[in-house]
Amino acid sequence: MNALAKLALASLRNRRFTVALTIASIAISTALLLGVERLRQEAREGFLRTVSGTDLIVGARSNPVQLLLYAVFRVGEPTNNVSWESYRTFAERPGVAWTIPISLGDSHRGFRVVGTSTAYFEHLRFAGDRRLEFAEGRPFEAIHDAVVGADVAERLRYRIGDRIVVAHGTGRTVLAEHDDQPFTIVGILKRTGTPVDQSVHVSLAALEAIHSNWRFGTRIGEAPSDAELAAMDLTPRSITAFFVGLESKVGVFALQRAVNEYRPEPLSAIMPGVALQQLWRLLGTVERALLVTAACVVLAGLLGMLTAVLATLNERRREMAILRSVGARPAHVFGLLLLEAVLLTALGALAGLLLMNGALAGLSGWLEARFGLYAAAGWPTIAEWRLLGLILAAGLVAGLVPAWLAYRRSVADGLTVRT
Amino acid sequence: MAAPVLGIEGLRFAWPGGPRLLSLDRFVIERDEHVFLFGPSGSGKSTLLNLVAGTLAPDAGSIRIDGEPMSGRPERLRDRLRADRLGVVFQMFNLLPYLSVRDNVLLPCRFSARRRERAVARHGSLARAADHLLDALGLGTDGIARRTAATLSVGQQQRVAAARALVGEPALVIADEPTSALDLDAREAFLRLLFAECRAAGAGLLFVSHDHSLKPLFDRAVALADLGGATDGDAA
């Protein structure tokens, strides 16, 4: 068998150009498949860890996925609000460590404005135990302070000290702007790869303030002066939802039941991890479609390999007769061609693995900055080993075709090539 | 007394569905004997070579190489016997273009332990065995051993093929019109080298050709027709 390996290698070396092209096509398709798999894993991980450290999210009674969509992803509209009294009731319950109130409804140039408290910057976690960090600046303090996410700052080229105007409503075409009460950017958050990047954060009191001279969607009268604002009670009457952190996880189910059975108003409490899983199941089709597409590209690469090996078969009948004459058995001829196919596949897969890791090493910084994906070069995961094994197996199966053809011809030809 | 290097008795062969092509009652080649077998094309010369080499099995009769039965054995053992005891030279395109000349010569030693051991026993190493034969066949210069086969002239390639057929001292060398691609002067020179090396290796030679002009150089010349070959029209 050692003799066969030498022959196969020498034969491949002799056809360097086609062999290099074949290996390149397998390498590129392998790199694509492994890359899709790696990013898929990262995207899934990242998605499932969009919110972490939060035990419950509470909002008006609705479907868990819908609540997750507006409270976390800021997609869609809440069905109803949560009254301030209800919020305080649960916030002050024994066992509750912290709460983050969220109030949605306004926007800034397509980005959602989130009214919240400074607890947001203190307690919100993502991707395991990562907390929000400031690229520049600090949390909001004064009424008209705003903190923007990384995408907002980047896309609108905002810097600390810029003044922005919040628009009433969230539609594409905004009818009215709170241009009488502009905000000043005091903080820019580092990228998280979560919806936080696309949010403008202000205090709940600020939302009250800018709506103080509004009734039924239109502005009435003059904007209140700072002195007037200071004298006002800016406690909101209601909020959109709130995040709850407990002192002990043990209380999660009890609190969830208490929320769901709360008499004064219909509320829902969801565990973000569970709801994220449900949502990912809906989106999972897309990632599977991507993986299937990449697998088809690998299949095309292997078919190219098959073509390259098959194309040589006719001109190599002579070679097979020579091998038979020096004592090779038909099984040797079979083994030689199978070995060539497997070598091509293995070299292609190996090159693909290196290519993918090289690309990741070069792109990981960009991927993190641009998409918040933490994909780095590294040793293949079990799932990737499995894919590599499948590619090799597919190469082996593809190699059976020319090997079998050459075997049959070699038995029929013997030492004499009949053409 | 040593067995003949080739012994054929009562051989019958026909392609499936075809008329009987070969019918040899008795054909023997002794050790050191150089036999010229001639017949027109289509007379079954190539078929006979495949039968002797064990890549075809006869319908009836027996073929023995160096005393060992080639016919009536499983294909695996026939392949083994061919590797151990036979050297083959084709009409042309004898060499694997992607191997060096030396590796081409040593090919039989990759498939036969017996040939490998004999070459090493006689010359000390495989490389020396190959170089010795190449030298004897006039290819010992210009680093030919390390060149790839594709860079040689046709005449050189045929001599490399002869060296390959002879490496590891097989009992019998079968040659299928190995000189037809050479010009007249080169033909005789090639044959003299082949004879000398067959003798040195103690191998018998079965030389198949339709070129009668070479006949006088051999110990014995046989027409395939006289052996009972070319039996077209003779119903099986």
B-chain residues near A409 (CB < 8 A): none
**Nearest alpha-carbon partner for A22 in A295, A296, A305, A300:** A305
A-chain residues near B94 (CB < 8 A): 322
For tokens 């990262």, the residue is A42
Last residue of a domain, one of A238, A270, A302: A270
Asked whether residue A91 falls in the same domain as residue A38, the answer is no
User: What are the residues of chain A with a beta carbon less than 8 Å away from any beta carbon of chain B?
Assistant: 3, 6-7, 10-11, 13-15, 318-319, 321-330, 332, 414-416
Handedness of CA A220, A222, A224, A227 (dihedral sign): negative
| CATH entry, B6-227, from 3.20.20.300, 3.50.30.30, 3.20.20.70, 3.40.50.300 | 3.40.50.300
Last residue of a domain, one of A218, A246, A270: A270
Interatomic CA distance for residues B97 and B151, integer angstroms: 9
| CA nearest to B162 within chain A | A326
Interatomic CA distance for residues A10 and A390, integer angstroms: 27
Query: What is the per-residue pLDDT across B45-64, written as a single tens digit (0 to 9) for each?
Result: 888 888 999 888 888 888 99
Interatomic CA distance for residues A24 and A16, integer angstroms: 12
In-domain check, residue A345: yes
Asked whether residue A34 falls in the same domain as residue A109, the answer is no
Handedness of CA A374, A375, A380, A383 (dihedral sign): positive
| B233 interface with A at CB cutoff 8 Å | no
Q: What is the dihedral of CA A120, A126, A131, A133, to 10 degrees?
A: -90
Q: Which domain holds residue A176?
A: 56-270
| CA nearest to B164 within chain A | A326
Asked whether residue A225 falls in the same domain as residue A339, the answer is no
Q: Which of B80, B84, B98 sits opposite A14 (nearest CB)?
A: B98
Q: What is the ipTM of this complex?
A: 0.88
In-domain check, residue A277: no
In-domain check, residue A419: no
Asked whether residue A389 falls in the same domain as residue A360, the answer is yes
Asked whether residue A261 falls in the same domain as residue A294, the answer is no
In-domain check, residue A418: no
Query: What is the per-residue pLDDT across A314-348, written as a single tens digit (0 to 9) for each?
Result: 888 888 888 988 888 899 999 999 999 999 999 99
Asked whether residue A206 falls in the same domain as residue A77, the answer is yes
Question: What residue ranges do the domains of chain B occupy?
Answer: 6-227
Q: How high does pLDDT run on average in chain B?
A: 85
- CB count in 10 Å sphere of residue A227: 8
Query: What is the per-residue pLDDT across B160-210, written as a single tens digit (0 to 9) for each?
Result: 998 899 898 899 999 988 888 788 878 888 888 888 888 888 889 999 888
> Please, what are the averages of pLDDT over each run of 10 residues along chain A (419 residues)?
82 88 92 87 79 88 88 83 92 92 89 92 85 91 91 92 84 67 91 88 89 67 72 84 91 92 92 86 82 88 88 85 89 92 93 91 79 74 89 93 91 75
Tell me the mean pLDDT in the region B95-121: 90
Interface residue of B21, B45, B55 to substitute, partner A, most A CBs within 10 Å: B55
Asked whether residue A396 falls in the same domain as residue A340, the answer is yes
Which residue has better confidence, B73 or A283? B73
How far does the CA of residue A2 sit from the closest CA of chain B (Å)?
9
How far does the CA of residue B23 sit from the closest CA of chain A (Å)?
20
B-chain residues near A13 (CB < 8 A): 98
C-beta atoms of A415 and B49 within 8 A: yes
How far does the CA of residue B109 sit from the closest CA of chain A (Å)?
8
pTM exceeds 0.95 for this model: no
In-domain check, residue A278: no
3-state secondary structure chain A: CHHHHHHHHHHHHHCHHHHHHHHHHHHHHHHHHHHHHHHHHHHHHHHHCCCECCCEEEEECCCHHHHHHHHCCCCCCCCCCEEHHHHHHHHCCCCEEEEEEEEEEEEECCEEEEEECCHHHHHCEECCCEECCEEEECCCCCCCEEEECHHHHHHCCCCCCCEECCEECCCCCCCEECCCCCEEEEEEECCCCCHHHHEEEEEHHHHHHHCCCEECCEECCCCCCHHHHHHCCCCCCEECEEEEEECCHHHHHHHHHHHHCCCCCCEEEECHHHHHHHHHHHHHHHHHHHHHHHHHHHHHHHHHHHHHHHHHHCCCHHHHHHHHHCCCCHHHHHHHHHHHHHHHHHHHHHHHHHHHHHHHHHHHHHHHHHHCCCCCCCCCCHHHHHHHHHHHHHHHHHHHHHHHHHHHHHHHHCCCCCC
Structure tokens at A223: 């904007």
Query: What is the per-residue pLDDT across B10-54, written as a single tens digit (0 to 9) for each?
Result: 888 888 888 888 888 888 898 889 999 988 877 788 888 889 998
pLDDT at B186: 80
- By the 8 A CB rule, do A389 and A65 touch? no
Interface residue of A9, A312, A325 to substitute, partner B, most B CBs within 10 Å: A325
**Nearest alpha-carbon partner for A167 in A240, A127, A85, A110:** A110
Asked whether residue A106 falls in the same domain as residue A237, the answer is yes
Asked whether residue A65 falls in the same domain as residue A36, the answer is no
Asked whether residue A251 falls in the same domain as residue A351, the answer is no
Last residue of a domain, one of A245, A270, A295: A270
Asked whether residue A21 falls in the same domain as residue A111, the answer is no
Structurally, how many domains does chain A consist of? 2
- By the 8 A CB rule, do A110 and A169 touch? no
| CA nearest to A5 within chain B | B110
In sequence order, the 6+-apart residues with CB closer than 8 A to the CB of A70 are A59, A76, A77, A78, A104, A240, A241
| CA nearest to B87 within chain A | A326
C-beta atoms of A326 and B97 within 8 A: no
Asked whether residue A167 falls in the same domain as residue A110, the answer is yes
